[in-house]
Structures are given as structure tokens and as C-alpha cells.
Structure 1
């Protein structure tokens, strides 16, 4: 199991991802309470690796991750275009229904923040490089 992290200033996306890239769980965490949120979301999981985006606030969140999971290796991956990939992933996982099916996906706005999906993108990028 892999923990993906999309760091941010006020909110941080968290995702538990299987070795084959399947999404196990998603969570939007308060960056202010990141250690508590990490323990609550992934503290009981047997993590083989942690993958985090190299963008906004990654150094502070990386320190928090090291305190919560000192024995688990952390790798940084590039975040370029991860929001666009996260939007595509969101619509794959949550296909539009009703009248929304008639609207091009590029014009639709997801019903929730994409940070957790961006965390999945980070893990999948790392897995593809591995």
C-alpha cells in the first residue's frame, strides 16, 4: 500500500493506493492539523512507501510525515500538470450523470476538491517510473 500526498497551504490531499494503482481511500486533510490527519487516515495501514508532490509547502509537510512515519521512505515527484490529470481521473471515477453527460467534461466543475485525486496522480507517476 502506498500513501500519496498532494501538499498545500490550507488543505492537503491524501490517498491510499494499491500496488496496481487502484484507489483504496481518499481524504482531504487540513494542513494545519496534518500530523493528526495522517495518523487518522493512514496510521493503521502497512505502508510500503510514501510519495509526495514537490510543490507548495512540501518541506513542512515532509517533516510532519517523517515524524508520523519515521520508518517509511518518502519520495518526491514533480507536480507539473497534476491538477489536469486529477480532473481527468475524477471524471473517470465519477462519470457525469443526467444532463451533465451532455456537457463536455472540460466545462464541468467537479463536486469536490481535486487534491486527493492529485495525490493518486503522484503515486501513479512514481509507480510508472519504478
Structure 2
């Protein structure tokens, strides 16, 4: 089976999370970009990585971003991924990767908010969900 390389986008009104994840679930890159600059960043990532498909979250701002991604995809499938509870899951992952230190350790994690945007972690989760679904999904019609 050829390697799948997924460019995942967590669309938002003002900022988007982006991540490139391969079949072995190795995160090649992740970041947060302003929505108005998303097209330029997507072009860069498509050139830098051998992306086989593009996954996009199906909630906030997905229609506008989906149209933009379809125009840039160059024949690659642009597939929807269910975003249900992805922000909560990304928040949990953030604190697994960055456990609180000092007095913050005493505050329950459910009451803490990450000090930086986690849209990139949401994009990683969307890519992982896409990989877990098995074969590449059908293109968004």
C-alpha cells in the first residue's frame, strides 16, 4: 500500500490549524495560520510534501475553506472529517505533551486553558481520524 500523506486543515473564521501527517502517524509539520493567508501556506505545503490527500474539518468556516482547498488541490481528494469533540481532545493532548509546572500542577486540567492556540493539534487529530478511517475517502462533492 502506498504511503498516505495527509494535509489536514482545521478551518476557522480568523485562523486555521494545519498539519501534515503520514501513514505512520508521524507529524511532519503543524502550525497555525491566519485564514486570509491560508492559500499561500497550502501552496507551500503541497510543494514541500508529497501530499496525497487533503482533509478538512466539517464545522466552522468549512464551506469557504473547502472551496479554496479544492481550487488548490491539483486533483488530490479533499475529504471532510468529523470535527466533533476535536477541540476538547486537542486540549487534552496539549496538556499530555506540556504538563503544567509549578503551582499550575495543583489546578485541575479541566479548569486550565492552553496558553497558545491549539488549532494545529486539532489538525493533527483530523489527519489521524482520516488515517483511522482506512482507505482514502471520496472527494467532497
* Fold conserved between structures, TM > 0.5: yes
**Distance (whole Å) between structure 2 residues aligned to residue 60 and residue 95 of structure 1:** 35
Q: 2:30 — aligned with what? A: 26
Do the aligned residues in 2 keep the contact of 1:53 with 1:77 (CA within 8 Å)?
A: yes
**Distance (whole Å) between structure 2 residues aligned to residue 18 and residue 98 of structure 1:** 35
TM-score under structure 1 length normalisation: 0.89
Unaligned runs of 5+ in 1: none
Superposition deviation, residue 41 in structure 1: 4.1
Q: 2:59 — aligned with what? A: 55
Q: Residues 76-108 of structure 1: CA distance to partner in whole angstroms, max 9, x if unpaired?
A: 011111110110111122222233223221122
Superposition deviation, residue 43 in structure 1: 3.1
Unaligned runs of 5+ in 2: 135-141
Deviating above 4 A after TM superposition, structure 1's stretches of 4 or more consecutive aligned residues are none
**Distance (whole Å) between structure 1 residues aligned to residue 26 and residue 53 of structure 2:** 15
The alignment covers a number of residue pairs equal to 130
TM-score under structure 2 length normalisation: 0.83
**Distance (whole Å) between structure 1 residues aligned to residue 45 and residue 98 of structure 2:** 22
Superposition deviation, residue 32 in structure 1: 1.4
Do the aligned residues in 2 keep the contact of 1:30 with 1:37 (CA within 8 Å)?
A: no
Instruction: Point out the structure with max Rg over C-alpha.
Output: 2
RMSD: 1.6
**Distance (whole Å) between structure 1 residues aligned to residue 22 and residue 98 of structure 2:** 19
Q: 1:125 — aligned with what? A: 129
